[in-house]
Amino acid sequence: MLTKRRAASDTGAGRRGMAATLANAGQARGIDRRGFLKNSGLAAGGLAALGALSPTMVRKAKADAIARDGEVVQRKNICTHCSVGCTVIGEIQNGVWVQQEPGWESPISQGTHCAKGASVRELVKGERRVKYPLKLVDGEWQRVSWEQAIDEVGDQLLDIRQKDGPDSVFWLGSAKFSNEAAYLLRKTAAFWGTNNVDHQARICHSTTVAGVANTWGYGAMTNSYNDIQNSKCLVIIGGNPCEAHPVSLQHMLRAKERNRAPWIVIDPRFTRTAAHATQYVRLRPGTDIPVVWGILWHVFQNGWEDKEYINQRVYGMDEVRAEVAKWTPEEVERVSGVKGEELYQVAKQMAENRPATLIWCMGATQKTVGTANVRCFSILQLALGNIGVPGGGANIYRGHCNVQGATDMGLDVSSLPAYYGLAEGAWKHWARVWDMPYDWVINRFGLEGMPFEEKKKLAELKGIPTTRWFDGVLAEGDEIEQPNPITGMVVMGHGGNTVTRMPDMIKGMEKLKLLVVIDPHPTTFAAIRQRRNGTYILPACTQFETEGSRVCSNRSIQWGEKFVEPIFESKNDYEILYLLSRKLGFADQLFKHIHVEGTQPVVEDILREINRGSLSIGWTAITPERLKLHMRHQEDFDKITMQATKGPLKGEYYGLPWPAWGNPELRHPGSPVLYDTSKHVMEGGGTFRARFGVEHNGETLLAEGSFSKGSEIEDGYPEFTMAVLRKLGWDQELTPDERRVIELIGGNDVDSVSWATDLSLGIQRIALKHGCLPYGNAKARAVAWNLPDPVPIHREPIYTPRPELAQAYPALENRRDFRLPHLNRGVQVAALEKNIREQFPFVYTSGRLVEYEGGGEETRSNRWLAELQQEMFAEINVGDAQRLGIEDGGWVWIYGPENNSRARMKALVTERVGPGVVFLPFHFSGYWEGESLRNAYPPGTDPIVLGAPANAVTTYGYDPVTFMQETKVTLCRVEKA
């Protein structure tokens, strides 16, 4: 809980032994602050101001003294927590990381850290790390060698493959991977023969990717944290960057101060971010679309929309007008609780202070209408002309340090790397990149003896996502569209407490034949008492013990240097995947063009293979050599534009924010603002992507009278193919080598070879030469006819607190996708019939804390952070607490409407949440139904702080486009414990 910190003279910050002492502390009642400090030897206030420490104070807080002999070497890496991308400078002496500093010259973080970033050195000290491979035998953890672990795991995987088929193994990756590791795991799954491979983006921003990609072309943040300093108005909905992305706040505060920019926060909870706002709007959870349409209603009523921009660059805005017209101020207030005058002020501020930036995070995306929410936000920005301009944009804050990059690398059930999808053409493209026969790749799928066409169907069928992997285990008969249910699971860098419906998740874990957890820390997956056998933990090292690149939210790619060798018996992700693939029999194919030194794949070779294949998102020019130069010359980049103003990289944008087109020799500078027509394409300019054809319902989908600076085609145009080059007469500019490659790819249909499949890069080169975007110049789509709701419409949450609204705004009808049934409307109707609202009167929502990240096992094992936040809690409104007799700091039970679920935690009585709303942070685990699971962890690896998982009481509900889970609005009951 958030408790007051009293000053004291003895900080004791560097004392050892705290974790060991705390391992036995705080059973049923948890660890209170006084007991924590007494047991640990810490005096009150010792780390209270960690987030505000100056760099010199960070130095003094180290536990290791610098030896007198031995050269001190400085190396740069990236913080392994949120997606801001802060530079960490490690001072290494005699192979030991002895000191840490923030990256003073980083254009992004500019010498700052938050509490998590300031304490990352603790990750490599390893007090709570998994030290060697472990095997669960009759409920007891036994130490085994790496050789034995790989042998036994491999044998069991091969047995599952032979009996049940490759789809019966689920491969769960990580948003904390490097790009290279994410790519390698996706490639491993493909060579194993399954699309059942996923990572954290499914549960944080899959709806963002689907929403914005289906609006204007790419599923990514359009501008940058730094560019927000050019904004004249800041609107945040469904985000709390003050806690979730603290270092990003410096850019936002500068915009507010320098530009006198209004700062508007729309959130059900008065957050720390809302405390900075000039206007705070409290809405009922789950009513984002009515509120945004309510804003747009005032825009249209007052003629504040950018009419020229819409006419030239937007398709289908009239259909949006028709839907928005239904959302009068009266109806918006009835549904959302927000008064019309409040939204009039928001609309007026955005209209009078352009460009305005719109920022969102998981408060918007983790909904059954997550994709619709994202599309709604995007349409608002299009109406105001705020996309493709500096200071504007859809600024989407990703959760983990490489959610963006892992998604780019296709660590996803619905796509191969670089968003190529799963169609035949995508598989043929990547088979060419991998230098493997297409038929060999497809034959890896399905059961032995299955016809090739059946295997091809499985290869082109979306997999089961991480939000529902346990449904893939528990499914019976024709409930599941694959040969057999999931019986084995390999988890790399992912926490088990991050999915909803945890009681069902535990049933799935019980039924698995094999569970392999690969992680620096034991996760919730490793601490479930219901499993007695068949679980292995393999110790992976952190990103500071290896090297590779990662992508922060603004699409900048940064290279991280290895600080120290992996500690204990941990290994890096690349080596672990090599050892597994060697045991499984396809290492020679997997690493055909990736050099392996002993058992260590060369990381740079992996990135070069990514460069070779990722034409569609402009990764071809983002080489290891260029990225290392950017890290070396951070001081040359402007702190707002992020463009190098001097030195060898002059003109380039920091981290080469993709797309960076063509061969590296072209020195494309990267694209700081997507879809910005004011710049030449070779200066980072762009247009909306033409990925949905050239017309729909008789209307053009191409831009009209709008084009990027210097374009020789001064109007809209389709994506470039060989046929388009021929029509323009530009095919004569291809070199003989480029033409030869195109003819090899196209065969009898050379005209179909496109800019995204031409491995010679000739089509891209010629388009760029003529000032054109290889992907075309189209209109953004306000109407996305391929989605369940082409124009976003409000749908009440599955477990709505307003049953009377579920008839007018029902959940989407039952359907099938991702190999499983999707039962939103069926569950909603059943809840209404059972009158669930009467039994569970509170609206449940969840969110993030500044001290912890993700599932929390890593950060709750960090003694610096554990001191700051010692207990799981539920925020309860003052009036509700008084009515229920609940005291601040008292114990409460939170009950969920499914599976008789319940969780025990402390109450934080506060006005931050409105009446009838309960807020839970989602970083905790280690308690189940009030019982401590501390002894279930392998000895010495249990996190310092344990708590009840928020997802113990969450419920059914999934976005129809991505199967994103509903975590931000369901129902619950609160009782005094």
For residue 107, is the peptide bond before it cis, meaning its omega torsion is within 30 degrees of 0? no
Confidence band for 412, pLDDT divided at 50, 70 and 90: very high
Secondary element (H or E) of residue 725 = helix 722-728
Share of the chain above pLDDT 90, in %: 91
pLDDT digits (tens, 9 = 90+) for 869-894: 999 999 999 999 999 999 999 999 99
Average pLDDT over residues 767-773: 98
Q: Which helix (H) or strand (E) holds 315?
A: strand 314-315
Task: Give how far Cα 332 sits from Cα of 516, 791, 805, Å.
Answer: 49, 17, 12
Output the CA–CA distances (angstroms, integers) from residue 191 to 95, 591, 757, in the order listed: 37, 11, 21
The Cα 10–Cα 635 span in angstroms is: 38
How large is the angle between the packed helices 573-584 and 146-164, nearest 10 degrees? 50
Contacts of 733 (CB under 8 A, 6+ apart): 766, 769
Give the model confidence (pLDDT) of 102-111 as tens digits: 999 999 999 9
Give the pLDDT score at 14: 31
Of all residues in the chain, the percent with pLDDT exceeding 70 is 93
List the single range of 16-25, 571-580, 937-946 with lowest mean pLDDT: 16-25
Mapped to the 3 state alphabet, what secondary structure does 837-869 carry? HHHCCEEEEEECCCCCCCCCCCHHHCHHHHHHC
Residue 267: closest CA among 319, 338, 205: 338
Averaged pLDDT of the chain: 92
Owner of token pair 């930036």: 357
Cα separation, 524 vs 934, in Å, equals 11
Residue 16 has pLDDT above 80, yes or no: no
Q: Would you state the pLDDT for residue 70? A: 78
Q: What is the pLDDT of residue 529?
A: 81
Tokens coding 944:
């310092």
CA 360 – CA 236 distance, rounded (Å): 6
- The residue ranking higher by pLDDT, 64 or 684, is 684
Could you give the CA distance from residue 813 to residue 202 in angstroms, rounded to a whole number? Answer: 22
pLDDT in tens, 640-672: 999 999 999 999 999 999 999 999 999 999 999
pLDDT digits (tens, 9 = 90+) for 168-178: 999 999 999 99
Query: What value does the mean pLDDT take over residues 626-649?
Result: 97
27 vs 561 pLDDT, higher one: 561
pLDDT value for 67 = 54
Question: What pLDDT, on a 0 to 100 scale, did the predictor assign at position 66?
Answer: 55
CA distance 14 to 864: 9
Q: Distance between CA 397 and CA 823 in Å, rounded?
A: 30
Reported as a single tens digit per residue, the pLDDT across 836-856 is 999 999 999 999 999 999 999
Separation between Cα atoms, residue 153 and residue 141, nearest integer Å: 16
Judge if pTM exceeds 0.75.
yes
Q: pLDDT per residue over 948-976, tens digit each?
A: 999 999 999 999 999 999 999 999 999 99
pLDDT value of position 217: 93
Model confidence at 717, pLDDT cuts 50, 70, 90, reads: very high
What's residue 68's pLDDT? 60
Q: Which helix (H) or strand (E) holds 122?
A: helix 121-125
Query: Average of pLDDT values for 677-697?
Result: 97
Measured distance CA(711)–CA(733) in Å, rounded: 17
pLDDT of residue 12: 31
Residue 55 has pLDDT above 50, yes or no: no
| pLDDT (tens digit per residue) in 191-246 | 999 999 999 999 989 999 999 999 999 999 999 999 999 999 999 999 999 999 99
Q: How confident is the model at residue 399 (pLDDT cuts 50, 70, 90)?
A: confident
Query: What pLDDT does residue 26 have?
Result: 34
Q: What is the DSSP string of 890-904?
A: -EEEEE-SSTT-EEE
User: Could you tell me which residues come within 8 angstroms of residue 125 by beta carbon, excluding any fewer than 6 positions away?
Assistant: 63
Residue 179 has pLDDT above 50, yes or no: yes
Mean pLDDT of 440-444: 98
Give the pLDDT score at 272.
Answer: 95
**What backbone torsions phi and psi does residue 965 show, to the nearest 5 degrees?**
-85, 155
Residue 52 has pLDDT above 90, yes or no: no
Task: Show Cβ contacts of residue 241 under 8 Å, excluding neighbours closer than 6 positions.
Answer: 248, 249, 252, 273, 359, 361, 397
